[in-house]
């Protein structure tokens, strides 16, 4: 039976591509609109590394139905035998669904029925009420649903079947907040790259690397062989910090000396804050369009130059000039670094895309000529490459993730 299930983030294509990159297209597949199956035991999945998945779940059963009365009947008989609390303390019970036709009141009614059935077997139970069909991460964490005496049951429709799973991990909201908002140096003018997105960018560049747990440091999982990651537009160092947390050696360069110093300050703070083992990092001031990197690196992950920040939609002339500037800089960068890369080197670059209408974007023109520049764009089995967009509803400048291979 398929073993694990991930609930993907706000833009599921990013999370799906991330899982495919790390685990291989044959080991993962999409389920419904917001989930993915991984054919690995959940204990073997380094969930803290995943920026594009909100929950990790253990698959308990697959039901040959998507009709709620039949689902309810099954879980009322099946679930009580699966609950084995470690102590006599009260069981914390939650119920969430994705892509199933059931109302919140009906879901609540099922949850209360399940509570009574479990109580009849001698257990004390508290049922977490639903305001929406999917409990949020804060509710799961606050109510202890991933603790030994907690249980969030998750039901996800996949065509005419339903996956029944139990949540075993959720994204650590507090930890992400520290990594994002508490860094000593920040600069909104160069963009505020979220750590989750930085993780996705790194993972899309990493492609099925093998990792091992660092002894005496259970939060850190490092590559089996030493790997250096290059960020040639490092800014304030968000990708570098996330790569350090993953166990990479990191190299960062930026054309602005101020950004290099910001990265240095942030990385020193980050290493102390998270008590990381001694990792070497190198930072230099360098123009990515002309610089020769005379040190070893294995992969490239970067949020590149995004052009001018816009809070209001720009006029057509200003937008055209901004797009032209970004095209020129990024094309020159790819040409410059091409001959410094071995064939097969993988890159993931976050480049700008401009939302000119809801969900409609203007893209950089050089993307259509990547082959002429010496690169192939990676094709994914489960998502379209041009669907790898990170943006918010009213945001003008979004990020398009280009996953490339040096030819």
pLDDT at 348 (0 to 100): 98
Query: Cα 259 to chain center, whole Å?
Result: 25
Per the CB < 8 A criterion, the answer to whether 249 and 227 are in contact is yes
SS3 201: helix
Q: Which of 315, 407, 313, 401 is nearest to 353 (CA)?
A: 401
pLDDT at 58 (0 to 100): 96
Query: Cα 182 to chain center, whole Å?
Result: 20
- Distance between CA atoms of residues 199 and 94, nearest Å: 29
Q: Give me the phi and psi of 301, to 5 degrees please.
A: -135, 125
pLDDT at 219 (0 to 100): 45
Which residues are bridge partners to 31 per DSSP?
Answer: 35
Count of beta carbons in the 10 Å neighbourhood of residue 399: 23
Please measure the distance between the N-terminal and C-terminal CA atoms of the chain and give it in whole angstroms: 39
SS3 62: strand
Percent pLDDT > 70 in the chain is: 93
pLDDT at 123 (0 to 100): 85
Give residue-wise pLDDT tens across range 7-62.
999 999 999 999 999 999 999 999 999 999 999 999 989 999 999 999 999 999 99
pLDDT at 207 (0 to 100): 63
Q: Which of 191, 203, 228, 196 is nearest to 348 (CA)?
A: 203
Which residues of the chain fall below pLDDT 70?
1, 84-87, 190-191, 207-226, 278-279
Which residues are bridge partners to 8 per DSSP?
Answer: 53
- Distance between CA atoms of residues 397 and 180, nearest Å: 20
For 287, counting Cβ atoms within 10 Å of its Cβ (0-12 exposed, 13-18 middle, 19+ buried), the class is: middle
Give residue-wise pLDDT tens across range 184-235.
998 877 668 999 999 999 999 986 555 555 444 444 455 555 589 999 999 9
Per the CB < 8 A criterion, the answer to whether 174 and 274 are in contact is no
Per the CB < 8 A criterion, the answer to whether 225 and 293 are in contact is no
pLDDT at 217 (0 to 100): 46
- Distance between CA atoms of residues 312 and 47, nearest Å: 37
In the numeric block, which tokens belong to residue 87?
């102590």
What DSSP letter does each residue of 149-162 carry, written as one string?
A: TEEEEEEEEETTEE
Q: Which domains does the chain have, with CATH numbers?
A: 4-171 (3.30.2130.30), 174-406 (3.40.50.150)
Q: Which residues neighbour 165 within 8 Å (Cβ) at sequence distance 6 or greater?
A: 5, 57, 58, 59, 60, 153, 154, 155, 156
Per the CB < 8 A criterion, the answer to whether 245 and 196 are in contact is no
- Distance between CA atoms of residues 243 and 237, nearest Å: 10
Place of tokens 């490239």: 300
Tell me what the pLDDT averaged over the chain comes to.
91
SS3 164: strand
């Amino acid at each position: 039976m398929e073993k694990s299930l991930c609930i993907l983030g706000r833009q599921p294509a990013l999370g799906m591509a991330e899982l495919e990159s790390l685990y291989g297209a044959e080991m993962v597949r999409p389920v419904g609109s917001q989930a993915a199956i991984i054919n690995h035991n959940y204990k073997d999945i380094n969930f803290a590394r995943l920026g594009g998945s909100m929950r990790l779940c253990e698959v308990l059963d697959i039901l040959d139905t998507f009709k709620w009365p039949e689902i309810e009947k099954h879980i009322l008989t099946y679930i009580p035998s699966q609950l084995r609390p470690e102590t006599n303390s009260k069981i914390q019970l939650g119920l969430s669904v994705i892509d199933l036709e059931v109302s919140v009141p009906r879901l609540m009614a099922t949850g209360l029925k399940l509570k009574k059935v479990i109580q009849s077997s001698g257990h004390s139970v508290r049922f977490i009420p639903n305001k929406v069909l999917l409990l949020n991460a804060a509710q799961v964490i606050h109510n202890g649903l991933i603790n030994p005496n907690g249980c969030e049951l998750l039901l996800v429709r996949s065509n005419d079947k339903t996956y029944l799973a139990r949540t075993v991990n959720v994204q650590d909201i507090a930890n992400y907040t520290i990594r994002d908002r508490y860094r000593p140096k920040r600069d909104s003018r160069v963009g505020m790259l979220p750590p989750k997105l930085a993780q996705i960018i790194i993972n899309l560049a990493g492609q099925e690397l093998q990792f091992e747990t660092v002894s005496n440091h259970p939060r850190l999982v490092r590559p089996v062989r030493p790997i250096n990651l290059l960020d040639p537009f490092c800014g304030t160092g968000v990708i570098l910090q996330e790569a350090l947390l993953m166990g990479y050696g990191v190299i960062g360069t930026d054309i602005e000396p101020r950004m290099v110093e910001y990265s240095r300050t942030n990385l020193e703070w980050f290493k102390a804050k998270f008590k990381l083992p001694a990792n070497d990092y190198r930072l230099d001031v360098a123009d990515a369009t002309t610089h020769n990197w005379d040190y070893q690196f294995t992969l490239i992950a970067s949020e590149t130059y995004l052009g001018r920040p816009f809070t209001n939609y720009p006029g057509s002339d200003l937008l055209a000039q901004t797009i032209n500037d970004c095209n020129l800089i990024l094309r020159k960068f790819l040409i410059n670094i091409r001959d410094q890369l071995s064939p097969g080197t993988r890159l993931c670059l976050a480049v700008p895309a401009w939302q000119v209408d809801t969900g409609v974007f203007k893209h950089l023109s050089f993307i259509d000529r990547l082959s002429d520049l010496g690169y192939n764009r990676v094709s994914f089995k489960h998502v379209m490459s041009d669907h790898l967009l990170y943006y918010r509803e009213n945001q003008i400048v979004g990020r398009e993730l280009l996953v490339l291979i040096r030819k």
